[in-house]
A and B are shown apart, each in its own frame.
Chain A
Amino acid sequence: MKAGSNLEKVLKAGHFAFTGEVGPPRGANVEAIRKKAGFLKGMVDMANMTDNQTAMVRMSSWAGSLILLQEGIEPNYQMVCRDRNRIAMQSDILGAYAHGIRNILCLSGDHQQFGDHPKAKGVYDIDSIQLISVVKKMRDEETFLGGDTLDVAPRMFIGAAANPFGVPFEWRVHRLAKKVAAGADFIQTQCIFNMARMREWVHQANDMGLTEKVYILAGVTPMKSIGMAKYMKSNVPGIDVPDEIITRLQGVEKKLVADEGIKIACEQIEEFKEMKGVAGVHLMPIEWEHRVPEIAERAKVLPRPQV
Protein backbone atom coordinates (compact mmCIF):
# COMPACT_ATOMS: atom_id res chain seq x y z
CA MET A 1 0.00 0.00 0.00
CA LYS A 2 1.29 3.40 -0.94
CA ALA A 3 -1.10 5.43 1.17
CA GLY A 4 -3.69 3.03 2.54
CA SER A 5 -6.61 5.25 1.62
CA ASN A 6 -10.02 3.67 1.22
CA LEU A 7 -9.86 4.33 -2.51
CA GLU A 8 -6.53 2.58 -2.80
CA LYS A 9 -7.85 -0.42 -0.87
CA VAL A 10 -10.99 -0.65 -2.97
CA LEU A 11 -8.98 -0.54 -6.18
CA LYS A 12 -6.31 -2.91 -4.94
CA ALA A 13 -8.92 -5.45 -3.95
CA GLY A 14 -10.15 -5.34 -7.54
CA HIS A 15 -13.49 -3.67 -6.91
CA PHE A 16 -15.00 -1.27 -9.42
CA ALA A 17 -14.53 2.09 -7.70
CA PHE A 18 -17.24 4.73 -7.49
CA THR A 19 -16.24 8.23 -6.42
CA GLY A 20 -18.14 11.48 -6.07
CA GLU A 21 -17.56 15.17 -5.79
CA VAL A 22 -18.50 18.08 -3.56
CA GLY A 23 -18.03 21.74 -4.41
CA PRO A 24 -17.28 23.83 -1.31
CA PRO A 25 -19.50 26.82 -0.55
CA ARG A 26 -18.84 30.44 -1.47
CA GLY A 27 -18.64 31.34 2.18
CA ALA A 28 -18.01 29.61 5.47
CA ASN A 29 -21.22 27.62 5.31
CA VAL A 30 -20.28 24.36 6.99
CA GLU A 31 -23.85 23.12 6.91
CA ALA A 32 -23.87 23.30 3.12
CA ILE A 33 -21.03 20.79 2.97
CA ARG A 34 -22.56 18.56 5.63
CA LYS A 35 -25.79 18.48 3.71
CA LYS A 36 -24.11 17.51 0.44
CA ALA A 37 -22.01 14.95 2.31
CA GLY A 38 -25.19 13.43 3.72
CA PHE A 39 -26.32 12.46 0.21
CA LEU A 40 -22.98 10.88 -0.61
CA LYS A 41 -22.42 8.90 2.55
CA GLY A 42 -22.27 5.17 1.88
CA MET A 43 -22.76 5.83 -1.83
CA VAL A 44 -19.15 6.53 -2.84
CA ASP A 45 -15.68 5.28 -1.94
CA MET A 46 -14.32 8.80 -1.81
CA ALA A 47 -15.42 12.30 -2.72
CA ASN A 48 -13.38 15.06 -4.36
CA MET A 49 -13.33 18.44 -2.71
CA THR A 50 -12.79 20.94 -5.50
CA ASP A 51 -10.22 23.73 -5.26
CA ASN A 52 -11.72 27.10 -6.19
CA GLN A 53 -13.12 25.61 -9.37
CA THR A 54 -13.65 27.96 -12.31
CA ALA A 55 -11.39 30.30 -10.34
CA MET A 56 -14.23 31.49 -8.11
CA VAL A 57 -13.23 31.98 -4.49
CA ARG A 58 -14.67 29.26 -2.27
CA MET A 59 -13.84 27.63 1.03
CA SER A 60 -10.39 26.06 0.73
CA SER A 61 -10.33 22.47 -0.44
CA TRP A 62 -8.31 21.17 2.52
CA ALA A 63 -10.80 22.74 4.96
CA GLY A 64 -13.72 21.27 3.05
CA SER A 65 -11.92 17.93 2.99
CA LEU A 66 -11.69 17.94 6.79
CA ILE A 67 -15.44 18.46 7.04
CA LEU A 68 -15.96 15.47 4.74
CA LEU A 69 -13.72 13.44 7.04
CA GLN A 70 -15.84 14.45 10.03
CA GLU A 71 -18.89 13.29 8.10
CA GLY A 72 -17.33 9.88 7.51
CA ILE A 73 -16.52 10.36 3.83
CA GLU A 74 -13.02 9.93 2.55
CA PRO A 75 -11.94 13.12 0.80
CA ASN A 76 -9.89 13.58 -2.34
CA TYR A 77 -8.10 16.85 -1.74
CA GLN A 78 -7.88 18.77 -5.01
CA MET A 79 -4.95 21.10 -5.45
CA VAL A 80 -4.47 23.48 -8.38
CA CYS A 81 -1.24 25.10 -9.51
CA ARG A 82 -2.87 28.46 -10.13
CA ASP A 83 -2.90 29.76 -6.58
CA ARG A 84 0.19 28.60 -4.73
CA ASN A 85 3.89 28.20 -5.25
CA ARG A 86 5.94 25.13 -4.41
CA ILE A 87 6.51 26.28 -0.84
CA ALA A 88 2.81 26.69 -0.06
CA MET A 89 1.93 23.47 -1.86
CA GLN A 90 4.34 21.29 0.07
CA SER A 91 3.31 22.92 3.30
CA ASP A 92 -0.40 22.35 2.58
CA ILE A 93 0.27 18.72 1.64
CA LEU A 94 1.95 18.14 5.00
CA GLY A 95 -0.90 19.86 6.83
CA ALA A 96 -3.57 17.92 4.96
CA TYR A 97 -1.85 14.63 5.67
CA ALA A 98 -1.41 15.53 9.32
CA HIS A 99 -5.19 15.89 9.56
CA GLY A 100 -5.92 12.53 7.96
CA ILE A 101 -6.27 13.36 4.26
CA ARG A 102 -4.93 10.45 2.20
CA ASN A 103 -5.83 11.25 -1.43
CA ILE A 104 -4.77 14.23 -3.47
CA LEU A 105 -5.68 15.29 -7.00
CA CYS A 106 -3.05 17.37 -8.79
CA LEU A 107 -4.45 19.85 -11.32
CA SER A 108 -3.35 22.85 -13.36
CA GLY A 109 -6.57 24.66 -12.48
CA ASP A 110 -8.91 26.83 -14.49
CA HIS A 111 -7.23 30.08 -15.45
CA GLN A 112 -8.00 33.01 -13.12
CA GLN A 113 -9.46 34.92 -16.03
CA PHE A 114 -12.59 32.74 -15.79
CA GLY A 115 -13.32 33.62 -12.20
CA ASP A 116 -14.47 36.41 -9.98
CA HIS A 117 -10.98 37.92 -9.68
CA PRO A 118 -10.00 37.84 -13.34
CA LYS A 119 -6.94 40.05 -12.96
CA ALA A 120 -5.42 38.15 -10.05
CA LYS A 121 -1.78 37.20 -10.47
CA GLY A 122 -1.66 33.52 -11.41
CA VAL A 123 1.14 31.57 -9.77
CA TYR A 124 1.86 28.52 -11.95
CA ASP A 125 5.24 28.11 -10.31
CA ILE A 126 5.05 24.43 -11.18
CA ASP A 127 2.58 22.64 -13.43
CA SER A 128 0.26 19.73 -12.64
CA ILE A 129 2.66 17.05 -13.85
CA GLN A 130 5.46 18.56 -11.80
CA LEU A 131 3.12 18.67 -8.79
CA ILE A 132 2.53 14.93 -9.14
CA SER A 133 6.28 14.37 -9.04
CA VAL A 134 6.61 16.60 -5.97
CA VAL A 135 3.98 14.64 -4.01
CA LYS A 136 5.63 11.40 -5.04
CA LYS A 137 9.04 12.63 -4.01
CA MET A 138 7.70 13.68 -0.62
CA ARG A 139 6.03 10.32 -0.14
CA ASP A 140 8.58 7.89 -1.58
CA GLU A 141 11.89 9.66 -1.08
CA GLU A 142 10.82 11.47 2.07
CA THR A 143 12.38 14.67 0.82
CA PHE A 144 11.13 18.07 -0.21
CA LEU A 145 11.46 19.23 -3.78
CA GLY A 146 14.43 21.30 -2.64
CA GLY A 147 16.19 18.16 -1.47
CA ASP A 148 15.98 18.40 2.33
CA THR A 149 14.77 15.40 4.29
CA LEU A 150 11.31 15.73 5.80
CA ASP A 151 10.22 14.53 9.21
CA VAL A 152 7.34 12.04 8.61
CA ALA A 153 6.42 11.68 4.97
CA PRO A 154 2.89 12.43 3.75
CA ARG A 155 1.70 9.12 2.36
CA MET A 156 -0.77 10.31 -0.23
CA PHE A 157 -2.53 8.31 -2.92
CA ILE A 158 -1.76 10.49 -5.92
CA GLY A 159 -4.40 11.40 -8.44
CA ALA A 160 -4.34 13.34 -11.68
CA ALA A 161 -6.84 14.41 -14.27
CA ALA A 162 -6.94 13.44 -17.92
CA ASN A 163 -8.93 14.80 -20.79
CA PRO A 164 -9.35 12.13 -23.46
CA PHE A 165 -11.11 14.68 -25.67
CA GLY A 166 -8.58 17.46 -25.66
CA VAL A 167 -6.71 18.29 -28.80
CA PRO A 168 -4.34 17.26 -30.22
CA PHE A 169 -6.15 13.96 -29.69
CA GLU A 170 -3.09 11.86 -30.65
CA TRP A 171 -1.17 13.60 -27.88
CA ARG A 172 -3.58 12.87 -25.05
CA VAL A 173 -2.41 9.35 -24.36
CA HIS A 174 1.18 10.59 -24.23
CA ARG A 175 0.15 13.18 -21.70
CA LEU A 176 -1.40 10.38 -19.67
CA ALA A 177 1.91 8.52 -19.97
CA LYS A 178 3.74 11.58 -18.63
CA LYS A 179 1.42 11.72 -15.64
CA VAL A 180 2.00 8.05 -14.96
CA ALA A 181 5.76 8.52 -15.29
CA ALA A 182 5.59 11.45 -12.88
CA GLY A 183 3.92 9.20 -10.30
CA ALA A 184 0.13 9.30 -10.65
CA ASP A 185 -1.57 6.34 -8.93
CA PHE A 186 -5.04 7.08 -10.25
CA ILE A 187 -6.64 9.19 -12.93
CA GLN A 188 -10.03 10.87 -12.99
CA THR A 189 -11.09 11.86 -16.48
CA GLN A 190 -12.96 14.87 -17.75
CA CYS A 191 -16.75 14.35 -18.08
CA ILE A 192 -17.27 11.81 -20.84
CA PHE A 193 -20.04 12.15 -23.39
CA ASN A 194 -18.25 10.98 -26.50
CA MET A 195 -17.98 7.26 -25.80
CA ALA A 196 -16.34 6.42 -29.12
CA ARG A 197 -13.40 8.71 -28.34
CA MET A 198 -13.20 7.39 -24.81
CA ARG A 199 -13.03 3.79 -26.04
CA GLU A 200 -10.25 4.71 -28.41
CA TRP A 201 -8.27 6.53 -25.73
CA VAL A 202 -8.56 3.65 -23.27
CA HIS A 203 -7.56 1.28 -26.04
CA GLN A 204 -4.42 3.33 -26.69
CA ALA A 205 -3.68 3.41 -22.96
CA ASN A 206 -4.05 -0.38 -22.79
CA ASP A 207 -1.72 -0.80 -25.76
CA MET A 208 0.93 1.34 -24.11
CA GLY A 209 0.65 -0.69 -20.91
CA LEU A 210 -0.45 2.37 -18.96
CA THR A 211 -3.57 0.82 -17.47
CA GLU A 212 -1.39 -1.71 -15.70
CA LYS A 213 0.37 1.11 -13.90
CA VAL A 214 -2.50 3.46 -13.12
CA TYR A 215 -6.17 3.13 -12.17
CA ILE A 216 -8.44 5.03 -14.53
CA LEU A 217 -11.73 6.32 -13.17
CA ALA A 218 -14.03 7.43 -15.98
CA GLY A 219 -15.72 10.80 -15.42
CA VAL A 220 -19.51 10.71 -15.68
CA THR A 221 -21.88 13.68 -15.42
CA PRO A 222 -25.62 13.22 -15.86
CA MET A 223 -27.20 15.87 -18.09
CA LYS A 224 -29.88 17.69 -16.13
CA SER A 225 -31.42 19.48 -19.09
CA ILE A 226 -31.09 20.16 -22.79
CA GLY A 227 -29.83 23.63 -21.91
CA MET A 228 -27.01 22.17 -19.85
CA ALA A 229 -26.01 19.85 -22.70
CA LYS A 230 -25.95 22.72 -25.17
CA TYR A 231 -24.07 24.96 -22.77
CA MET A 232 -21.43 22.32 -22.16
CA LYS A 233 -21.08 21.67 -25.85
CA SER A 234 -20.39 25.24 -26.81
CA ASN A 235 -19.06 26.97 -23.71
CA VAL A 236 -16.93 24.60 -21.70
CA PRO A 237 -13.46 24.25 -23.22
CA GLY A 238 -12.22 20.67 -23.34
CA ILE A 239 -15.66 19.06 -23.15
CA ASP A 240 -16.93 17.13 -26.15
CA VAL A 241 -20.72 16.66 -26.31
CA PRO A 242 -21.77 14.76 -29.45
CA ASP A 243 -25.04 15.79 -31.12
CA GLU A 244 -26.57 12.36 -30.40
CA ILE A 245 -26.71 13.22 -26.71
CA ILE A 246 -28.64 16.40 -27.38
CA THR A 247 -30.93 14.69 -29.88
CA ARG A 248 -31.63 11.93 -27.41
CA LEU A 249 -32.56 14.39 -24.66
CA GLN A 250 -34.74 16.29 -27.11
CA GLY A 251 -36.51 13.07 -28.00
CA VAL A 252 -38.23 12.67 -24.62
CA GLU A 253 -41.04 14.57 -22.93
CA LYS A 254 -39.86 17.69 -21.10
CA LYS A 255 -40.43 16.32 -17.63
CA LEU A 256 -38.48 13.17 -18.47
CA VAL A 257 -35.32 14.91 -19.71
CA ALA A 258 -33.48 14.69 -16.38
CA ASP A 259 -34.45 11.06 -16.10
CA GLU A 260 -33.09 10.43 -19.59
CA GLY A 261 -29.86 12.13 -18.53
CA ILE A 262 -29.52 9.73 -15.64
CA LYS A 263 -30.37 6.84 -17.94
CA ILE A 264 -27.53 7.83 -20.29
CA ALA A 265 -25.14 8.10 -17.32
CA CYS A 266 -26.17 4.64 -16.08
CA GLU A 267 -25.65 3.11 -19.51
CA GLN A 268 -22.18 4.64 -19.59
CA ILE A 269 -21.41 3.24 -16.15
CA GLU A 270 -22.57 -0.22 -17.25
CA GLU A 271 -20.21 -0.05 -20.21
CA PHE A 272 -17.31 1.13 -18.05
CA LYS A 273 -17.79 -1.79 -15.68
CA GLU A 274 -16.94 -4.05 -18.60
CA MET A 275 -14.31 -1.90 -20.26
CA LYS A 276 -10.79 -3.28 -19.99
CA GLY A 277 -8.50 -0.62 -18.53
CA VAL A 278 -11.21 1.26 -16.63
CA ALA A 279 -11.09 0.69 -12.87
CA GLY A 280 -14.07 2.73 -11.78
CA VAL A 281 -16.26 5.75 -12.30
CA HIS A 282 -15.96 9.26 -10.98
CA LEU A 283 -19.42 10.81 -10.78
CA MET A 284 -19.58 14.60 -11.07
CA PRO A 285 -23.20 15.49 -10.48
CA ILE A 286 -22.78 19.26 -10.77
CA GLU A 287 -24.96 20.71 -7.97
CA TRP A 288 -27.06 17.55 -8.04
CA GLU A 289 -25.61 15.79 -5.01
CA HIS A 290 -29.11 14.94 -3.80
CA ARG A 291 -29.62 12.71 -6.85
CA VAL A 292 -26.47 10.65 -6.13
CA PRO A 293 -28.27 7.92 -4.10
CA GLU A 294 -30.72 7.42 -6.96
CA ILE A 295 -27.96 7.35 -9.57
CA ALA A 296 -25.85 4.93 -7.51
CA GLU A 297 -28.88 2.70 -7.09
CA ARG A 298 -29.81 2.74 -10.76
CA ALA A 299 -26.17 2.24 -11.82
CA LYS A 300 -26.08 -0.84 -9.56
CA VAL A 301 -22.90 0.14 -7.75
CA LEU A 302 -24.35 -0.41 -4.26
CA PRO A 303 -23.50 -1.44 -1.65
CA ARG A 304 -19.99 -0.01 -1.65
CA PRO A 305 -17.33 -2.53 -0.64
CA GLN A 306 -16.03 -2.49 2.93
CA VAL A 307 -12.28 -3.00 2.72
Chain B
Amino acid sequence: MIIAERKPLDEIKEMVKDYRKVLNVGCGGCTSICLAGGQKEVMILNRDLKEQLLGEGYSPVLDGFVIERQCNYDFFDELDNMVGGYDAVLSMACGVGVQFMAERYPETPVFPALNTVFCGADRNIGWFEENCRTCGECVLAETGGICPVTRCAKGLFNGPCGGTRLDGTCEVDKDTPCAWYEIYHRLQAQGRLGNILTVKPPRQWQNQTRRSLVQEDYKQRYAG
Protein backbone atom coordinates (compact mmCIF):
# COMPACT_ATOMS: atom_id res chain seq x y z
CA MET B 1 0.00 0.00 0.00
CA ILE B 2 1.03 3.61 -0.54
CA ILE B 3 1.70 5.45 2.68
CA ALA B 4 1.26 9.21 2.98
CA GLU B 5 1.11 11.85 5.65
CA ARG B 6 -0.56 15.22 5.75
CA LYS B 7 1.47 18.30 4.96
CA PRO B 8 1.76 20.96 7.68
CA LEU B 9 -1.33 23.14 7.87
CA ASP B 10 0.62 26.29 7.05
CA GLU B 11 1.93 24.85 3.81
CA ILE B 12 -1.56 23.80 2.73
CA LYS B 13 -2.95 27.18 3.71
CA GLU B 14 -0.37 28.96 1.56
CA MET B 15 -1.44 26.91 -1.48
CA VAL B 16 -5.16 27.60 -1.22
CA LYS B 17 -5.59 30.88 0.63
CA ASP B 18 -6.16 32.99 -2.46
CA TYR B 19 -8.96 30.77 -3.80
CA ARG B 20 -12.36 31.48 -2.33
CA LYS B 21 -14.14 28.21 -3.12
CA VAL B 22 -12.04 25.10 -2.57
CA LEU B 23 -13.09 21.46 -2.86
CA ASN B 24 -11.09 19.08 -0.71
CA VAL B 25 -11.25 15.57 -2.19
CA GLY B 26 -10.32 12.54 -0.12
CA CYS B 27 -9.41 9.12 -1.44
CA GLY B 28 -11.02 5.88 -0.29
CA GLY B 29 -7.95 3.87 -1.30
CA CYS B 30 -4.51 3.71 0.29
CA THR B 31 -4.50 7.13 1.91
CA SER B 32 -7.75 6.37 3.63
CA ILE B 33 -6.36 3.08 4.95
CA CYS B 34 -3.16 4.72 6.18
CA LEU B 35 -5.23 7.35 7.98
CA ALA B 36 -3.98 10.32 5.98
CA GLY B 37 -6.63 11.21 3.42
CA GLY B 38 -9.99 9.48 4.03
CA GLN B 39 -13.38 10.84 5.09
CA LYS B 40 -12.27 11.71 8.60
CA GLU B 41 -9.05 13.42 7.55
CA VAL B 42 -10.93 15.51 4.96
CA MET B 43 -13.26 16.77 7.69
CA ILE B 44 -10.45 17.54 10.11
CA LEU B 45 -8.37 19.37 7.52
CA ASN B 46 -11.34 21.46 6.39
CA ARG B 47 -12.20 22.38 9.95
CA ASP B 48 -8.62 23.40 10.82
CA LEU B 49 -8.01 25.16 7.54
CA LYS B 50 -11.22 27.14 7.80
CA GLU B 51 -10.41 28.25 11.31
CA GLN B 52 -6.94 29.32 10.29
CA LEU B 53 -8.12 31.21 7.21
CA LEU B 54 -10.95 32.93 9.05
CA GLY B 55 -8.48 33.99 11.69
CA GLU B 56 -6.39 35.62 9.03
CA GLY B 57 -9.28 37.57 7.56
CA TYR B 58 -10.19 35.32 4.62
CA SER B 59 -13.70 34.09 4.01
CA PRO B 60 -13.24 30.71 2.41
CA VAL B 61 -15.82 28.22 1.22
CA LEU B 62 -14.34 24.80 1.89
CA ASP B 63 -16.25 21.68 0.94
CA GLY B 64 -15.28 18.07 1.28
CA PHE B 65 -15.91 14.98 -0.82
CA VAL B 66 -14.44 11.52 -0.98
CA ILE B 67 -14.22 9.25 -4.02
CA GLU B 68 -13.41 5.58 -3.95
CA ARG B 69 -10.02 5.96 -5.64
CA GLN B 70 -8.29 8.89 -7.26
CA CYS B 71 -6.02 6.68 -9.38
CA ASN B 72 -8.76 5.39 -11.66
CA TYR B 73 -11.05 7.54 -13.81
CA ASP B 74 -13.94 5.10 -13.33
CA PHE B 75 -14.52 6.77 -9.97
CA PHE B 76 -14.54 10.39 -11.15
CA ASP B 77 -18.07 10.68 -12.58
CA GLU B 78 -19.66 12.46 -9.64
CA LEU B 79 -16.71 14.81 -9.29
CA ASP B 80 -16.94 15.83 -12.93
CA ASN B 81 -20.18 17.66 -12.17
CA MET B 82 -18.83 19.37 -9.06
CA VAL B 83 -15.35 20.65 -9.86
CA GLY B 84 -16.57 23.38 -12.21
CA GLY B 85 -18.17 25.12 -9.24
CA TYR B 86 -14.85 25.60 -7.40
CA ASP B 87 -11.81 27.83 -7.83
CA ALA B 88 -9.35 25.15 -6.73
CA VAL B 89 -9.18 21.51 -5.67
CA LEU B 90 -7.21 20.10 -2.79
CA SER B 91 -6.47 16.39 -3.07
CA MET B 92 -5.88 14.09 -0.13
CA ALA B 93 -4.75 11.22 -2.35
CA CYS B 94 -1.16 10.13 -2.93
CA GLY B 95 0.91 11.85 -5.61
CA VAL B 96 -0.57 9.51 -8.19
CA GLY B 97 -4.10 10.56 -7.39
CA VAL B 98 -3.19 14.25 -7.33
CA GLN B 99 -1.73 13.96 -10.81
CA PHE B 100 -4.74 12.08 -12.11
CA MET B 101 -6.99 14.77 -10.70
CA ALA B 102 -4.89 17.54 -12.24
CA GLU B 103 -4.96 15.77 -15.59
CA ARG B 104 -8.72 15.29 -15.44
CA TYR B 105 -9.40 18.97 -14.70
CA PRO B 106 -6.64 20.85 -16.52
CA GLU B 107 -8.37 24.20 -16.06
CA THR B 108 -8.59 23.94 -12.28
CA PRO B 109 -5.58 24.36 -9.98
CA VAL B 110 -5.14 21.10 -8.05
CA PHE B 111 -3.01 21.04 -4.86
CA PRO B 112 -1.59 18.15 -2.83
CA ALA B 113 -2.56 18.07 0.83
CA LEU B 114 -0.31 15.08 1.54
CA ASN B 115 3.29 14.05 1.21
CA THR B 116 3.50 10.60 -0.33
CA VAL B 117 6.19 8.82 1.60
CA PHE B 118 6.59 5.16 0.69
CA CYS B 119 5.24 1.74 -0.26
CA GLY B 120 4.86 -0.08 2.96
CA ALA B 121 2.95 -2.25 5.35
CA ASP B 122 1.13 -1.76 8.65
CA ARG B 123 3.34 -2.68 11.56
CA ASN B 124 0.48 -1.81 13.89
CA ILE B 125 -2.47 0.59 13.91
CA GLY B 126 -1.21 3.89 12.52
CA TRP B 127 2.37 2.58 12.29
CA PHE B 128 3.82 1.86 8.88
CA GLU B 129 7.13 0.66 7.50
CA GLU B 130 8.70 1.06 4.09
CA ASN B 131 9.46 -2.19 2.34
CA CYS B 132 9.74 -1.67 -1.40
CA ARG B 133 11.22 0.99 -3.68
CA THR B 134 9.59 -0.47 -6.81
CA CYS B 135 12.97 -1.13 -8.41
CA GLY B 136 11.41 -3.21 -11.17
CA GLU B 137 13.67 -6.23 -10.72
CA CYS B 138 12.87 -7.94 -7.48
CA VAL B 139 15.73 -9.74 -5.73
CA LEU B 140 13.79 -10.98 -2.71
CA ALA B 141 14.20 -14.58 -3.85
CA GLU B 142 17.91 -14.36 -3.18
CA THR B 143 17.84 -12.23 -0.07
CA GLY B 144 15.53 -14.25 2.10
CA GLY B 145 12.56 -11.95 1.59
CA ILE B 146 14.36 -8.86 2.92
CA CYS B 147 14.74 -5.97 0.48
CA PRO B 148 18.31 -4.60 0.30
CA VAL B 149 17.25 -1.73 -1.97
CA THR B 150 14.88 -0.35 0.65
CA ARG B 151 16.17 -1.60 3.94
CA CYS B 152 19.94 -1.19 3.51
CA ALA B 153 20.79 2.50 3.89
CA LYS B 154 23.27 2.19 1.03
CA GLY B 155 21.17 -0.12 -1.13
CA LEU B 156 24.04 -2.59 -1.29
CA PHE B 157 23.72 -5.78 -3.31
CA ASN B 158 26.82 -7.34 -1.78
CA GLY B 159 26.41 -6.39 1.84
CA PRO B 160 26.86 -5.98 4.70
CA CYS B 161 29.15 -2.96 4.69
CA GLY B 162 31.90 -2.48 7.24
CA GLY B 163 29.76 -0.30 9.45
CA THR B 164 27.26 -2.76 10.89
CA ARG B 165 27.23 -2.27 14.65
CA LEU B 166 28.13 -5.14 16.94
CA ASP B 167 24.47 -5.53 17.93
CA GLY B 168 23.40 -5.94 14.31
CA THR B 169 22.00 -2.46 13.76
CA CYS B 170 22.79 -0.22 10.81
CA GLU B 171 25.65 2.27 11.04
CA VAL B 172 23.21 5.01 10.13
CA ASP B 173 20.76 4.53 12.97
CA LYS B 174 21.13 2.49 16.09
CA ASP B 175 17.42 1.70 16.17
CA THR B 176 17.28 0.31 12.63
CA PRO B 177 18.37 -3.26 11.99
CA CYS B 178 21.08 -3.77 9.37
CA ALA B 179 19.26 -5.34 6.41
CA TRP B 180 22.27 -7.47 5.51
CA TYR B 181 22.71 -8.71 9.04
CA GLU B 182 19.12 -9.92 8.86
CA ILE B 183 19.55 -11.33 5.36
CA TYR B 184 22.59 -13.30 6.51
CA HIS B 185 20.82 -14.77 9.51
CA ARG B 186 17.64 -15.65 7.65
CA LEU B 187 19.51 -17.37 4.83
CA GLN B 188 21.76 -19.15 7.27
CA ALA B 189 18.78 -20.52 9.19
CA GLN B 190 17.31 -21.75 5.91
CA GLY B 191 20.61 -23.25 4.75
CA ARG B 192 20.66 -20.89 1.76
CA LEU B 193 23.84 -18.84 2.34
CA GLY B 194 25.01 -20.00 -1.08
CA ASN B 195 22.71 -17.32 -2.49
CA ILE B 196 25.00 -14.53 -1.36
CA LEU B 197 28.42 -16.14 -1.68
CA THR B 198 28.96 -15.02 -5.25
CA VAL B 199 29.42 -11.45 -6.46
CA LYS B 200 26.20 -9.84 -7.56
CA PRO B 201 27.04 -7.78 -10.66
CA PRO B 202 26.05 -4.11 -11.10
CA ARG B 203 22.38 -3.97 -11.81
CA GLN B 204 20.67 -2.45 -14.78
CA TRP B 205 18.35 0.05 -13.14
CA GLN B 206 14.81 -0.24 -14.44
CA ASN B 207 13.43 2.86 -12.77
CA GLN B 208 15.36 5.74 -14.29
CA THR B 209 12.73 6.82 -16.77
CA ARG B 210 8.97 6.88 -16.40
CA ARG B 211 7.53 3.43 -16.73
CA SER B 212 4.24 2.23 -18.11
CA LEU B 213 3.04 -1.30 -18.28
CA VAL B 214 0.44 -3.24 -20.20
CA GLN B 215 -0.15 -6.75 -18.89
CA GLU B 216 0.42 -9.52 -21.38
CA ASP B 217 -3.25 -10.41 -21.80
CA TYR B 218 -4.10 -6.82 -22.72
CA LYS B 219 -1.35 -6.15 -25.23
CA GLN B 220 -3.67 -7.02 -28.12
CA ARG B 221 -6.29 -4.62 -26.86
CA TYR B 222 -3.98 -1.59 -26.84
CA ALA B 223 -1.92 -2.45 -29.91
CA GLY B 224 -1.85 0.03 -32.76
Contacts and interface: CB of A to CB of B under 8 A. Distances in A.
A112 to B, nearest CB: 9
B91 interface: no
A127 B156 contact: yes
B154 A124 contact: yes
Interface string A157-181: 0000111011110010011011001
A168 B185 contact: yes
Contacts of B198: 178, 181
Contacts, number: 97
A171 B159 CA distance: 10
B171 A167 contact: no
A122 interface: yes
A206 interface: no
A111 B171 contact: yes
A168 B200 CA distance: 19
Interface string A90-133: 00000000000000000011110110000000101111111001
A168 B156 CA distance: 16
Interface in B123-172: 153-168, 171-172
A124 B162 contact: no
A166 B172 contact: no
Range of interface residues on A (Cβ < 8 Å): 35 or more
Interface string B177-190: 00001001100000
A81 interface: yes
A111 B199 contact: no
Interface string A48-81: 0000000000000000000000000000000001
Give the 7 A-B residue pairs with the shortest CB-CB distance, closest first: A163-B162, A237-B171, A129-B158, A237-B163, A126-B202, A127-B156, A130-B202
Interface of B: 153-168, 171-173, 181, 184-185, 193, 197-202, 205
13 contacts: A108-B156, A111-B153, A111-B171, A114-B172, A128-B158, A130-B200, A166-B162, A167-B181, A181-B198, A237-B164, A237-B165, A238-B162, A238-B171
